[in-house]
Structure 1
């Protein structure tokens, strides 16, 4: 690769990350902070307030049965399920159940079994929910805030840097069924005219995959720029081999581009091959960097590697298998379909990642990620 190729292999410092400013995140949502501040204080205080409210509602249910239905206890149970830890939640459920029976016994009108059944089912559901959350270590409102913070950190870690004039990069990551967590993520670094982008697909979907993705994203963000390009995926593989995960593997594609010359190096580990648009001929092809075993499966397995030069007008597209893999369809067919979309969306237009994702029309039952890098 010559002198320019050696630049791609040199270590760089990672791009500085931005701080989350999501209005719904723990740093930006005043409603979250208010509720969390009440919940993380002394739990007896929160439990005591709810107990008083339950008692007052019970008085109202006895004296004004037309205004205070027995099913209104369910609302207080829901509040308790959100803010109380396990033992205080159990106490609240017992109190609600007892007062519901008492109110039903002394109310002037004989209650129908429907409201009693609703309250009983709500008590059971709240106990099941609270127990599962306690086993996961998510206690009250702070546990919910932790999940929000995890989601926001995944989004912030995937932000792309601003590139110099003559380059354009765009990315989009969508989770399966619109869930708040995705097993697909990206990390990037840029320094001294060297851009590095890593697109990763963690095994699994949903919240479990999102938590693993956050852990891996932090590790890869530390490695990116700190190691030469040819050592990055082997180091990531060693990291995953050291983790004790039930589904401990991930596929990845690592792109390193010299922004002065356009020379690039791309390496894949069990990941679909990137697509390259050659503006001069209008030809779109899948790179030959197919191969390499997924990260976290076997030690000392080299990734598949390809290299080339992006000329003016050329573009390279990274993507995860959610765009090309579907039940009943061969992956090669999915890649051919993607190449056709890239030819239309990128060659003939602005070619944003969202346009590529929309053109492929991939099913919503898997996480999907797309990165489009173009040289103007």
Structure 2
């Protein structure tokens, strides 16, 4: 038997025997063993047992609770019984959700940490020549460990920087797992495809996955670090912003774009071109910064432009400061990428 399987079997037996021991303690020593000990046992079980054994333990706790109630254990009052039953239902539901996305026991938590670290690594920008820098800030909804927003970047021949900012549908762990898969695939496409072919290829890849919640928006920018010329295209994504340092204004780079990725086959993108002079900044962002229920999208965009003007114009900060200035609600993932020419 595999070592991990043996450890799981031992943990299962220990927890099942502990449930029996707790019931005996509740029956014989109610002053020292309260029925709430069952709740502690379930919390421990969630982190060590796989779904099948978690169900076995839950059923055993319910049977033991019924036995204590039937035998007239003094501490088993109706309210306590109801709480134990509810806790078993909640524990099994939580365990089932983890099982659905492939997380089982303590190793599943280590896998979550690894997924988060890998997703962060895919968003690292290669070292850039003097005079160029990229500042990014990605925050998840409700400060969850995973975000549905991610960035991939590649530097070709030391002079062509390409960045894609992607907003995957959904939130939380499910979106995080999809983001990890897409970031790896899109990172490979970004370095292998001509710039005009990246978004259509990304759309084909997403359609091939056949996910039930399988669409994403994306903006793709390519910057010539020798001349400052840039090319940008989008798929269902909010338009980038261009801060002109010399003129002191912010323009919307009006990418007409295509439908979101993963919706229809054969998308066609309409790219826009521009030029970053010294001091200019190109802003890429996701809709969590500008779109909120019950508010106008244009107002959200004006708020972002105002924060960018206050922070980036006088160079008082970077992406984190702009996010703080926007003060967007934390009920959606938010991402901001600044491509700066010093």
Q: Does 1:308 align with 2:308?
A: no
Q: How far does residue 160 in structure 1 lie from its aligned partner after superposition?
A: 2.6
Q: 2:110 aligns with which of 139, 145, 162?
A: 145
Deviations 1:51-97 (CA, angstroms, capped at 9, x unpaired): 33334434443443212112212211221232112332233234333
Q: How far does residue 108 in structure 1 lie from its aligned partner after superposition?
A: 7.8
Deviations 1:225-249 (CA, angstroms, capped at 9, x unpaired): 1122122112112212222022322
Residue 56 of structure 2 corresponds to 91
- Greater mean deviation of Cα atoms: 76-85 or 102-111: 102-111
Residue 342 of structure 1 corresponds to 308
Which segments of 5 or more consecutive residues in structure 1 lack a partner in the other structure? 1-36
Q: Distance in 2 between matches of 1:320 and 1:88?
A: 42
Q: Distance in 1 between matches of 2:311 and 2:263?
A: 36
- Greater mean deviation of Cα atoms: 232-241 or 86-95: 86-95
Q: How far does residue 177 in structure 1 lie from its aligned partner after superposition?
A: 2.1
Residue 79 of structure 2 corresponds to 114
Q: 2:232 aligns with which of 266, 282, 290?
A: 266
Change (3 A) 1:83 1:167: same
Q: Distance in 1 between matches of 2:76 and 2:213?
A: 51
Q: 8 Å contact 2:34–2:75 — kept in the other structure?
A: no
Deviations 1:189-246 (CA, angstroms, capped at 9, x unpaired): 1242221111011223333322222221111011111122122112112212222022
Q: Distance in 1 between matches of 2:176 and 2:310?
A: 32
- Greater mean deviation of Cα atoms: 233-242 or 113-122: 113-122
The count of aligned residue pairs is 340
Q: 8 Å contact 1:39–1:83 — kept in the other structure?
A: no
Q: How far does residue 369 in structure 1 lie from its aligned partner after superposition?
A: 0.8
Report 1 or 2 for greater relative contact order, CA contacts < 8 Å, sequence distance ≥ 6.
1
Q: Distance in 2 between matches of 1:74 and 1:38?
A: 28
TM-score by length of structure 2 reads: 0.89
Deviations 1:317-345 (CA, angstroms, capped at 9, x unpaired): 11111222223333233223322222221
Which segments of 5 or more consecutive residues in structure 2 lack a partner in the other structure? none
Residue 359 of structure 1 corresponds to 325
Residue 256 of structure 1 corresponds to 222
Change (3 A) 1:96 1:301: closer
Deviations 1:99-158 (CA, angstroms, capped at 9, x unpaired): 445556668856433333332332333333334444544332233333333233222222
